């Protein structure tokens, strides 16, 4: 029932605030003790990771990006690159380009024990793109899955941790509606032009998706091949719309040394 879910969320919020009084939270990125307004909106800050304003400024993108392919675009939509892009999603937003401070944080988020860093990226994505994300009217958040063998070796999934925070901040369920059917070579081990083919047919839906508007989440987007294959699998199963978010968008000239696509 709706009232029971509301009560559960309120109880979680009150419990978190009580713990915060005993053990004040620290920024999930830099570990510094944040200022009073760093947790979120002053009237009802959402529970979960805290990101200080300094890290938010450092990781924020300083250029406008297309809401369809996330390439730099002064108008914010339908840029020239959209017509050449392989990305098949209905829209894509990112926190920024894959470089400098953001690159370092994304690499940290891929390591075991760095789940708060990944959650911080999810929170920043929602802070920056809340209007667009709400306009997409998604029914659920879906992380791009890792193959079980790589997940066992890695010990964590940055995409899943980002997705969990995005879902929490948007008030949506996070559902694992995709599975990876085969362990593909790492994208960064392949020439750029071979990466889309590397993941072709590697994803299958799990559970009913017919009629749902879904929000895919990954950590880094390069060619867009992984997101496009995920979108194709979900759309073939009947999803009404598939939008996507990622922490960073890498351009072709950007060297990726630890891609998780």
The whole-number pLDDT of residue 100 equals 75
Cross-strand partners of 245: 93, 217
CB 178 within 8 A of CB 212: no
The whole-number pLDDT of residue 166 equals 96
Cross-strand partners of 214: 140, 242
Phi, psi angles (nearest 5°) of residue 90:
-75, -10
The whole-number pLDDT of residue 133 equals 96
The whole-number pLDDT of residue 40 equals 46
Q: What is the mean pLDDT of each run of 10 residues along the chain (261 residues)?
A: 43 42 69 62 57 83 79 69 69 87 89 90 92 96 88 85 95 94 67 63 86 95 85 93 93 45 40
The whole-number pLDDT of residue 11 equals 45
The whole-number pLDDT of residue 144 equals 93
Q: In terms of Cα–Cα distance, which of 97, 161, 95, 170 is closest to 128?
A: 95
């Amino acid at each position: 029932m709706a009232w029971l879910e509301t009560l559960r969320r309120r109880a979680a919020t009150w419990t978190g605030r009580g713990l915060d009084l005993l053990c004040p939270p620290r920024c999930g990125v830099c570990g510094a003790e944040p200022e009073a307004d760093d947790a979120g909106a002053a009237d009802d800050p959402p529970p979960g990771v805290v990101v200080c304003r300094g890290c938010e400024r450092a990781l924020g993108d300083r250029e406008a990006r297309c809401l369809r392919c996330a390439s730099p675009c002064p108008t914010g939509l339908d840029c020239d690159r959209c017509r050449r892009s392989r990305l098949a999603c209905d829209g894509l937003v990112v926190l920024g380009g894959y470089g400098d401070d953001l690159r370092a944080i994304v690499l940290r988020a891929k390591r075991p024990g760095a789940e708060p860093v990944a959650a911080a990226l999810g929170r920043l994505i929602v802070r920056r793109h809340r209007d667009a994300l709400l306009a997409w009217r998604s029914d659920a958040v879906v992380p791009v899955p890792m193959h079980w063998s790589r997940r066992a070796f890695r010990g964590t999934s940055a995409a899943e941790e980002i997705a969990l925070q995005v879902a929490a901040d948007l008030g949506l369920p996070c559902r694992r509606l995709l599975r990876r059917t085969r362990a593909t070579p790492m994208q960064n081990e392949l020439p750029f032009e071979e990466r889309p083919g590397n993941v072709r047919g590697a994803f299958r839906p799990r559970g009913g998706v017919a009629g749902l508007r879904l929000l895919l989440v990954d950590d880094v987007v390069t060619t867009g091949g992984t997101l496009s294959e995920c979108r194709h699998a979900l759309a073939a199963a009947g999803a009404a719309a598939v939008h996507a978010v990622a922490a960073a968008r890498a351009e072709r000239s950007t060297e990726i040394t630890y891609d998780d696509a």
